[in-house]
Chains A and B, each alone.
Chain A
Amino acid sequence: MTATLHRPRDLGTALDLLAGLGDPMVFGGGTAVQILLKQGVLFASDLVDIAGVPGLADLVATPGGLRAGTMVTLRRMETDPLVHDRAPLLAQVYGRVANPRVRNTASVGGNIAHGDYRLDPPTALLVLDARVELSSAAGARHVPIREFFTGFQETTVRSGEMVTAIDVPTQPLGGAAFTKLSSLAANDWPVASAAVLVTAADVGDREIRIGLGALAPTPVYVAVALPATASDDDAVDAALAAVEPLIDPLPDVRGGVAHKRRLGRVAVADATRAAWHDTPHDLRGTPGEEAIDDRRPTFLRRHRRH
């Protein structure tokens, strides 16, 4: 079966197509859709190619962070100075997806709409408390990323809707780390991944935010609070206790349940230890829009394009 390709030139037309066609699929970056079509496992009557819709590839600063249009490429999230400045953890995690060619083509909206439990970007979006904009012919609504993934390969995106943007708050002060473990090729799907962000909601208190990939039927978010005086080992123990009831691996060619559970614990422990260790003891508060960013952790900017 060949799906009919539509190439709308404005958002209204695209949303009308999604509302009116029989079984449409949004065609964004096109990497996942094209692979699924080749494998014969995607059944759509129509493809709505949104590459020609103006504005969907905009990446802009907002008063509280940044806003990435649905067609912004993963590679741009990896390399753009705005993302490095406002959410360096996010840039780091986007830079770990698949390979550079896929990242040059795949889009931020399509990536999460794909809904796979092994995706890297949701781990960072979860700890950063991102918000997804969904649009349909009836209007737009906003869904916290922590409510976006509803089941195995399922999201909250309804029939006739598409992701149009992701809003990401500025990364709070504190340590952040991402660990991704693969049992086959290094750029294969991971068997376990964990993004960890340590924040200081109140003086003397810390919150360890943890986003997990590949360790349950959906990406998973959990947070745990502990005093700023806790040791690295205390932080790791608290993080492991928090994720323990949530790790529910699916056995496949990359490993069995015990293997993935073990690697999941390693990923959480490594990322937590690094993030906690990088959090200054005297840290307090979160940066406002006018905050000076010189205490925010950075990472090697080797892929800068600009």
Chain B
Amino acid sequence: MTPIDLVVNGERRSVTVGDDDLLLDVLRGLGHTSVREGCGVGACGACTVLADGHSVSSCLARAVRYDGVALTTADGLPAADDVVEEFVAARAMQCGYCIPGFVLMGHELLAENPDAGAAEIDAHLEGNICRCGTYLEIRTALENAARRRREATRTEKEPA
């Protein structure tokens, strides 16, 4: 057993983990139940977390490797998160099980490329599965979130 510090959504949590413990299980044990197990082999995206801003399948990640790494889970996003708001506005969910993963993948994409359009969204989300099949609404939500960010950037740049 190894004592580590997980920095989850800006909060440092000291935990003791076994060598085999998966990040997925440790985060859920800490109450971050927006992190979910789907396929268990990195192919569905339900267990997505961001580590230093990069998406990771927590079902394949050993917690001991994430000592001190800044982690983001969907439940740690601010109440007025632009991506979440656009998911709600586009009704981009039915059961919602997979949605935290889609939201975090969307954040990673828009942080890298605010100009992302439908093709870039499809490419980035190719490894996320929604069994309710709300893919079209999810794409719309992210197109709208991207547009919001571009407009916000333009407004900031305008002279006073």
**A residues engaging B (CB < 8 A)?**
2, 4-5, 7, 30-31, 34-35, 38-39, 49, 51, 75, 98-102, 104-105, 186-187, 302-305
Contact = CB atoms under 8 A, between A and B. Distances in A.
A304 B111 CA distance: 11
B113 A303 contact: yes
Contacts of A104: 54-56
Given A102-B42, A186-B126, A304-B112, A34 B54 contact: no
A38 B61 contact: no
Given A5-B64, A30-B62, A34-B60, A101 B55 contact: yes
B105 interface: yes
Contacts, number: 73
Contact of B57 (A5, A39, A102): A102
Given A5-B64, A35-B60, A100 B120 contact: no
B136 interface: no
Nearest to A98: B127
Nearest to A5: B19
Nearest to B54: A104
A235 B46 CA distance: 45
B45 interface: yes
Given A75-B54, A99-B127, A105-B61, A2 B20 contact: yes
Contact of A101 (B19, B57, B64, B123): B57
Contacts of B126: 99-100, 186-187
Given A75-B54, A102-B57, 7 more contacts: A5-B64, A39-B41, A99-B45, A102-B42, A302-B119, A302-B120, A305-B112
Nearest to B19: A5
Interface band, chain B: 20 to 34
A99 B43 contact: yes
A254 B43 CA distance: 17
Interface in B78-128: 105, 108, 112-113, 116, 119-120, 123-124, 126-128
B40 interface: yes
B28 interface: no
B65 interface: yes
Contacts of A2: 19-20
A101 B120 contact: no
B56 A101 contact: yes
B65 A51 contact: yes
Given A30-B62, A302-B120, A105 B113 contact: no
B144 interface: no
Contact of A38 (B40, B55, B108): B40
B41 A101 contact: no
Interface in B10-51: 19-20, 40-43, 45, 48
B127 A101 contact: yes
Most buried by B among A98, A302, A304: A302
